[in-house]
Amino acid sequence: MYRNSRVVASYIRQIGRASHASAVECNAGFPRCKLPNATDSSTSLFPWNSKYSARLMGIHDPCSVEGIRHFRGGSEIQAGAPSEKPAVVQSTGGTGGPLLPATRGRQKPRVVILGSGWGACRLLKDINTLVFDVVCISPRNHMVFTPLLASTCVGTLEFRSVAEPVRKIQPALSLSPDSYYMPARCVSIDPDKHEVNCVTIYDDMPGGKTGAEFSVAYDKLVIATGAEASTFGIKGVAEYAIFLRDVKNARDIRTKLLLNLMLCEIPGTPAEEKQRLSHIVVVGGGPTGVEFSGELSDFIRGDVHRNFGHVKSFIRVTLVEANELLASFDVRLREYATNHLIASGVDLVRGIVKEVQKKKLILTDGTVLNYGLLVWSTGVGASTFVKGLPFPKSPGGRIGIDLFLRVPSLPDVYAIGDCAGFLEDTKRPVLPALAQVAERQGKYIAKALNSMDHAKGRASKAIEKASPADEPFVYKHLGSMATIGRYKALVDLRENKDSRGISITGFVSWLIWRSAYLTRVMSWRNRFYVMINWAITLIFGRDDSRF
């Protein structure tokens, strides 16, 4: 072993002198290597983790003969003897390069999934990794359980309770040699080359620091990038409002809320400033806005009155909605929710926002609302990425899909979730931007793909021929639920707003709401977190620490 290691080290030094590249350092006593230019972000896609870079290259032992062959070219990796592993080329100078080239030979077909939301993660969970290699590309390495996200804003639940890592959802992303999660953002798609072009990220927020550009070849591509919060082009919304779509948003809301309450506690703060700082304005009367308002009312009635005695007479919540609250719910449920929120101390204002400024919100009728915290939850629209794709579009600007969730005229490309919508010629209605829609679509695609053998996996129309997909995708609404605070909730089991069905309110519906969502949480670990958090909040109250 010692003699062989010395031979390898000598060979590596000869390579370094011949190519004038950075030497591959190898310890004769321990089989460990440092990749060339491992700290140079211009030549390494993942400069922070040399071991991970080696794994992406299909090199399990960088000091092996296979590793030496790959690193012979210095910053560019040259393929050695023919292998079933995909050859990997590092990007150079930020111009981009193939990270995972097209599969060949006996390799499994590669399914590339863009996104880590409900649709993407259901597909990740159900896809057969014995048949397919899976690559998940998303800035976010976890799925957010959005129905419970509002509870994290006030400390009812902790953030980890609603975040499920994608590697826990699909262990093959960590264990399979040719399946990966990549922290990156897709910037374009080349259907002719069957490649997606991406850029690595260091920060998952817009404008964050980015790394190297690269491309990944696919045999099947599923676009599940979701949507963006709608601002309707209203001035100041993007700059001053906080959206409620992700754990980062929930953390920002919680931080801002607690900071404002603590600032109000400072002696000598003018009463006017206390009123502004402690005024929370929520724009949007859909399920998210109503649930967040209900959580706030519980937080105020319990924890604020107990822990912020100097603020309790100032704090208030205003919910602004242009039309009806919970427009998709039964009329009786809407009336119940309205009366309950008013009784809980929430001010309901009907109006349309004209402009948002740093400390105030202006409605079209001239009403001015001074605020300390503004939360925007008015629905979603097509993302900038989706708008920029040269694909057919459905009404509303989503990616147009046929009855089998395929993007027409683009072989092997599918779109699901909030980023996709049926084309007009399908004569199907626009599906709502709901988690259950995306999850059902992810399940449908996984079932269809799993039915294919290796040959079918490369056929663009195999999904239509496969037995589970003989029928086109059909969405059946299972009902809607929303909590409104003080152990009350709404359960609407109608298939659509014009049909008849069971509608339940009160404490019983609150128990149904909690039980249903507890069983829908992805893992037993997170279910345990949720149950423990609920118990702690019930016994000890919410945590008002600010980090």
Give me the domains of the chain, ranges plus CATH numbers. 1-83 (no CATH), 91-141+183-227+382-475 (3.50.50.100), 237-378+478-540 (3.50.50.100)
pLDDT in tens, 460-494: 444 444 444 568 999 999 999 999 999 999 999 98
Structure tokens at 287: 């399920």
DSSP code of residue 109: P
Q: Does the pLDDT of residue 547 top 50, yes or no?
A: yes
pLDDT (tens digit per residue) in 49-67: 433 343 444 434 333 333 3
Q: Which structure tokens are listed for 96? A: 């981009």
More confident of the two residues 103 and 40: 103
Tell me how far apart the alpha carbons of residues 192 and 413 are, in angstroms, rounded to a whole number: 11
- Report CA 442 to chain centroid distance, whole Å: 14
Work out the average pLDDT over 68-72. Answer: 32
Alpha helices of 347-402 — where are they, by DSSP H? 384-388
What pLDDT was estimated at residue 250? 97
Q: Between these two residues, 222 and 29, which has the higher pLDDT value?
A: 222
**Which residue intervals of 472-523 are DSSP H helices?**
507-520
Q: Does 46 or 457 have the greater pLDDT score? A: 457
**Percent of the chain's residues with pLDDT above 90:** 68
Give pTM, 2 decimals.
Answer: 0.80
Average per-residue pLDDT for the chain: 82
pLDDT at residue number 501: 83
At 217 the three-state DSSP class reads strand
Joined tokens for residue 184: 């990156």
Summarize the confidence of residues 333-352 as an average pLDDT.
96
